[in-house]
């Protein structure tokens, strides 16, 4: 006989039976495996369900089984957790290590907040009466980012070095970024993809998007400003992005579905949706322990269904493990802005953090994103956190001496 136990979780837990996020944990030096979080318990799913697809170091094999299976497994987990469960499937949250839950395939970052895009337009092009670019309301603008640099919450972030050139500098200089910023976003994890040449209509996005994570798209604004014309951000972003360890199933967010804001002008047919695709997710940005912003995801102009329809409308293939992020979440109010460059208006209007005026990140700073969303019956659903600390830049290895420059 296997020892069993019955798990008790408070009714107001952010990780009750209505959430049941998926993550990857390890305990006691063993190999990472898939788990769910129930209250403050981490429950090994291979042990709970007797299915070896969960005895793996990423969610990808399970996600690849498709939407119908996600529905069935979610119901089965809830049913099992209501009864006796194998004692050796259960760990206390603070005794395990949490890993990157997804083997990331392609990563795309959108720019879906009208408030964010407008604020950046006003900061960088104050002379221009229209802060948005002409394409912005016609398509969800996005760029591909570096999949390898997506890391799990708790991973320290080394301040990046790179080229920057201020408007008055005669030539670029090299050094640690002096304008290191965050972008508070949600990331959407693709469970099943689409073949090259196929498209994913917006109304089929529910069958492809597996779940949602918190996503901090760390941004070196000085590096980005110098490099990004004409091919977009590269080294200003590619050094790191932090995600939360728990993937909240899209199936858990039915009660969070709200209409997206009105889209004017009307979008092209391939971007139309027949059900609400806004998400009433309240995000909080914590800077050295103090909440400095509460960006509301419900204010986002472009929906995840539109993002997926757009990125596949040209026949580009998509895969299990793709992550596409929303871009900075900003609401209409100052205290709803999801990036420090906006919150401090380009660094000119500091915010007070623990009594000190602050603009961009200093070494030793710690940032955490958290979020909750409504669940059924007055419950709340938690996303955990995407937290990281900034370490000082590394000393660069000695470059080749100038005299040896080739040719």
* Residues involved in catalysis: 116
Q: Does 268 bind a second copy (CB under 8 A)?
A: yes
Contact string 194-223 vs a second copy (x = CB under 8 A): --xx-x-xxx----------------x--x
Extended beta strands in 301-365, E state: 323-325, 351-353, 356-358
Contact string 135-154 vs a second copy (x = CB under 8 A): x--xx-xxxxxxxxx-x---
> Binders of a second copy among 158-197, rule CB under 8 A?
158, 160-163, 165, 171-172, 174, 193, 196-197
Ranges of H-type helices in 313-390: 340-343
Contact between 41 and 20 under an 8 Å Cβ cutoff? The reply is: no
Residue 16, CB-side half-sphere exposure with 13 Å CA sphere? 17
Q: Does 231 bind a second copy (CB under 8 A)?
A: yes
For residue 292, the SS3 value is strand
For residue 77, the SS3 value is helix
Q: Pick the closer one to a second copy by CB: 49 or 100.
A: 100
**Chain center to CA of 223:** 22
Q: Does 395 bind a second copy (CB under 8 A)?
A: no
Q: Does 235 bind a second copy (CB under 8 A)?
A: yes
Q: Pick the closer one to a second copy by CB: 244 or 318.
A: 318
Q: Does 228 bind a second copy (CB under 8 A)?
A: yes
Q: Pick the closer one to a second copy by CB: 239 or 340.
A: 239
> Binders of a second copy among 310-349, rule CB under 8 A?
310-311, 313-319, 322
| Token pair 């009864």: residue | 83
**Chain center to CA of 400:** 38
Which tokens sit at 329? 């979440």
Query: Distance between CA 239 and CA 112 in Å, rounded?
Result: 22
Residue 303: which of 203, 400, 376 has the closest Cα?
203
In the complex, the smallest distance separating the C-beta of residue 269 from a second copy, rounded to whole angstroms, is 4
Q: Applying CB under 8 A, which of residues 21, 187, 233, 374 lies at the interface with a second copy? A: 233
102: left (phi over 0), alpha (psi -120 to 50) or beta: beta
The stretch near a second copy (CB under 8 A) out of 24-32, 236-244, 281-289, 331-339 is 236-244
Q: Considering only CA atoms, give the Rg of the chain.
A: 22
In the complex, the smallest distance separating the C-beta of residue 149 from a second copy, rounded to whole angstroms, is 5
The stretch near a second copy (CB under 8 A) out of 40-48, 94-102, 232-240, 357-365 is 232-240
Q: Applying CB under 8 A, which of residues 64, 123, 154, 270 lies at the interface with a second copy? A: 270
Size of site (CB under 8 A) for a second copy: 86
Q: Does 404 bind a second copy (CB under 8 A)?
A: yes
Contact between 342 and 328 under an 8 Å Cβ cutoff? The reply is: yes
């Amino acid at each position: 006989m296997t020892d069993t136990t019955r798990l008790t979780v408070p009714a107001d837990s952010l990780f009750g039976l209505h959430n049941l996020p998926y993550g990857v944990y390890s305990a006691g030096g063993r190999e990472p495996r898939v788990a769910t979080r129930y209250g403050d318990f981490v429950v090994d799913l291979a042990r709970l369900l007797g299915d070896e697809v969960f005895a793996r170091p990423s969610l990808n094999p399970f996600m690849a089984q498709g939407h119908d299976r996600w529905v069935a497994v979610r119901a089965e987990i809830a049913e099992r957790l209501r009864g006796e469960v194998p004692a050796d499937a259960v760990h206390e949250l603070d005794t395990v290590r949490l890993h990157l839950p997804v083997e990331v395939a392609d990563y795309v970052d959108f720019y879906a907040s009208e408030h964010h895009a407008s604020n950046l337009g006003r900061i960088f092009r104050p002379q221009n009466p229209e802060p948005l670019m002409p394409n912005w309301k016609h398509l969800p603008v996005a760029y591909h980012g570096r999949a390898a640099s997506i890391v799990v919450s708790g991973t320290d972030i080394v301040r990046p070095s790179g080229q920057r050139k201020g408007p008055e500098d005669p030539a670029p200089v090299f050094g640690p970024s002096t304008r290191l910023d965050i972008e508070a976003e949600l990331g959407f994890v693709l469970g099943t993809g689409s073949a090259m040449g196929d498209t994913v209509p917006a109304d089929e996005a529910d069958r492809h998007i597996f779940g949602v994570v918190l996503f901090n798209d760390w941004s070196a604004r000085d590096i980005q400003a110098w490099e990004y014309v004409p091919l977009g951000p590269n080294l200003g972003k590619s050094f790191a992005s932090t995600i939360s360890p728990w993937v909240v199933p899209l199936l858990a967010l039915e009660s969070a579905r709200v209409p997206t804001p009105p889209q004017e002008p009307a979008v092209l047919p391939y971007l139309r949706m027949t059900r609400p695709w806004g998400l009433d997710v309240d995000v909080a940005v914590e800077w050295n322990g103090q909440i400095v912003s509460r960006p509301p995801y419900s204010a986002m102009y472009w929906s995840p269904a539109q993002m997926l329809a757009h990125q596949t409308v040209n026949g580009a293939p998509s895969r299990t493990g793709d992550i596409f992020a929303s871009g900075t979440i900003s609401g209409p109010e100052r205290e709803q802005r999801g990036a420090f460059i906006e919150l401090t208006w380009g660094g000119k209007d500091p915010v007070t953090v623990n009594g000190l005026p602050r603009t961009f990140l200093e070494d030793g700073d710690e940032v955490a994103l958290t979020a909750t969303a409504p669940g059924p019956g007055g419950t709340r659903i938690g996303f955990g956190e995407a937290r990281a600390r900034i370490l000082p830049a590394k000393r660069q290895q000695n470059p080749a001496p100038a005299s040896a420059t080739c040719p």
